[in-house]
Structure 1
Amino acid sequence: MEFAVEVEILARVRHKNLLSLRGYCAEGQERLIVYDYMPNLSLLSHLHGQHSAECLLDWKRRMTIAIGSAEGIAFGILLLELATGKKPLEKLSATVKRTITDWALPLACERKFSELADPKLNGKYNEEELKRVVFVSLVCAQNQPERRPTMLDAIELLKGESKERLSELENDELFKAPPAVDYNDGSFVAEDSSEFISEDRGEGREPGSDREVREIVNENTHDS
């Protein structure tokens, strides 16, 4: 049933930077989904997979993807992945996991943006753009929907079109004092990412949400 719901959601997705679902198979124990062939592979493979070490995604390409992929599905998490090169969920131990937002928010509050940048970029990024990406990503991923910006506002902020809006964003309450996080009880998963980050079992998320984001067509990378 969960697979059928996920297929239905994926079939409805329409975005110029997201692959459309071509078909699926649900026979016996097989569960497969079919997309067009990606000659440049997926964003996932370039950030975390077989091509991540090559760092074909320079900062300019990452900003192009960030602005071009704006939609409501886990957009804040995607921005953080592009900026930091980290996975959405990090295992600290066999029983403790930390979300990318829990790692990034304290550093953003302390304005330690160089520690947030993907090391594979080797310092080759625009500092002001990185700061904007980090701030926008975290306000988009916060757990209070009414405080998240609209996609149009997010794009305007990413492009740096309004200095006044950027100043308001930088002084947002979210970035004044990071919440205390206790990872010692062995079961913590942060609330502020519960709508975006799932456990391995797929609980606590909207079916298809992370997969939709990860199937973004990377038109800006070199041909494989």
Structure 2
Amino acid sequence: RRTAPDSAPESDSFKARKFTLAELVDATENFKAEYFLGEGGFGKVYKGRLQGTGEVVAIKQLDRNGGQGIREFVVEVLTLSNAEHPNLVKLIGYCAEGDQRLLVYEYMPLGSLEDHLHVRRASRKVLDWNTRMKIVAGGGEGVAGAAKGLEYLHNKMKPPVIYRDLKCSNILLGEGYHAKLSDFGLAKVGPSGDQTHVSTRVMGTYGYCAPDYALTGQLTFKSDIYSFGVVLLEIVTGRRAIDNRRTGPEQSIVEWAKPLFKDRKKFFQMADPALEGQYPVRGLYQALAIAAMCIQEQPNMRPQIADIVNALNYLVSQKYDPKIHPIQSPGSVHSSRSLKRDSEEKFDLGFGNEEKLEDLV
């Protein structure tokens, strides 16, 4: 049964609970300023505590700016009510009362990946290499990373879903840096049967949006793969997707990275300076190789998410160990030896090449 874009889903059809506005006002003490967590897609997000159960939650209050917000609300409820995966933020419930539209999610105590990568605070430590790889790929005790959430949407959901807004601010972190995808208001049911794409108004975030989608409005699963490549580049380099403090090609992480990808001797220049050389050289090469394949101009050159997950499973096993891996610095004896060893292996990388992902890693 389809739900009209200007209506709210009926509670008996979904796992998500229907809340009254009064319950959510109580949970946030009338949306008290000190409970404000930040701006999410199409609205403000507050921390709350549900009366009765005492459960701590995140409550998104959608902007009351007309039909667009209502459509995003319905899409998000429909998508997350039918999804169940450890790498997707759990939708606990919703409220549709008068002109108010609110969504209630599980609370993610460590905030977003964007906060940890790009917002420096004295109380927050720099993400080390192993934690970064855990966030994107998972690792240890069967913990999966953000890539597994995307794989679930593409390959396991019925019908499959194109996320359309993958970015660092939409990857939220729970205890132990467990990563979950959030904000599904732009999600779109993917093409099926003989269809190759879904034609739609271009929406998403500048810097993460695939060039083919931006130009044609033709949305495919490979549109998400491009965005994933940008996120992986941010994780490895510590740069923002778009940085307006820089000038020219340096503003765009993709434009900055392209010439560096053509010369593997320059790969170490792409490592986040905040890592202070504490990363495995082979792991750095593999992560950059995967990112490079994801941001290929031609969508058919980008790998499938299942191939990326397989490559990341291998990558995450390349943990950094200070007892084994020397600190890398440009021109150091260790760095030169590592680069020479890696360059002698089959690791040809360039834009427009046709090598399979597994050949690169």
TM-score by length of 1: 0.61
Contact 1:59 1:121 in 2 (8 A): yes
If each structure's strand is expressed as a fraction of its own residues, which one has the higher value? Answer: 2
**Larger Cα-atom Rg:** 2
Counterpart of 2:348 in structure 1 is 171
Cα drift, residue 83 of structure 1: 0.5
Decide which of 63, 66, 73 is 2:136's aligned counterpart: 66
| In structure 1, C-alpha distance between the alignment counterparts of 2:242 and 2:251, rounded to whole Å | 6
Q: Which structure 2 residues correspond to residues 1-224 of structure 1 after superposition, within 5 A? A: 1-11=67-77, 12-13=79-80, 14=83, 15-22=85-92, 34-51=104-121, 54-67=124-137, 68-70=145-147, 71=150, 73=224, 74-91=227-244, 98-111=251-264, 112-158=266-312, 159=314, 170-174=347-351
Q: 1:77 to 1:24 in 2, by over 3 A?
A: farther
Q: 1:145 to 1:40 in 2, by over 3 A?
A: same
Q: Which of 48-57 and 124-133 deviates more?
A: 48-57
| AA of the residue aligned to 2:258 | L
Q: Which of 47-56 and 139-148 deviates more?
A: 47-56
Q: 1:106 to 1:40 in 2, by over 3 A?
A: same
Cα drift, residue 88 of structure 1: 0.8
| In structure 2, C-alpha distance between the alignment counterparts of 1:46 and 1:118, rounded to whole Å | 13
Q: 1:96 to 1:37 in 2, by over 3 A?
A: same
Cα drift, residue 16 of structure 1: 2.2
Contact 1:109 1:175 in 2 (8 A): no
Q: 1:94 to 1:151 in 2, by over 3 A?
A: closer
The gaps in structure 1 that reach 5 residues or longer are: 162-166, 177-224
Measured against aligned partners, the alpha-carbon deviations of 1:133-191 in whole angstroms (never above 9, x if no partner) come to 11111211223111111112112323259xxxxx77x4244178xxxxxxxxxxxxxxx
Q: 1:43 to 1:78 in 2, by over 3 A?
A: same
| In structure 1, C-alpha distance between the alignment counterparts of 2:285 and 2:311, rounded to whole Å | 11
Q: Which of 26-35 and 1-10 deviates more?
A: 26-35
Report the count of equivalent residues: 170
Cα drift, residue 26 of structure 1: 9.2
TM-score by length of 2: 0.40
| AA of the residue aligned to 1:118 | D
Q: Report the identity percentage.
A: 36
| In structure 1, C-alpha distance between the alignment counterparts of 2:284 and 2:276, rounded to whole Å | 14
| In structure 1, C-alpha distance between the alignment counterparts of 2:270 and 2:114, rounded to whole Å | 19
| In structure 1, C-alpha distance between the alignment counterparts of 2:133 and 2:261, rounded to whole Å | 19
Q: For CA contacts below 8 A with separation 6 or more, give which structure has more relative contact order.
A: 1
| AA of the residue aligned to 2:351 | L
Q: Which of 37-46 and 11-20 deviates more?
A: 11-20
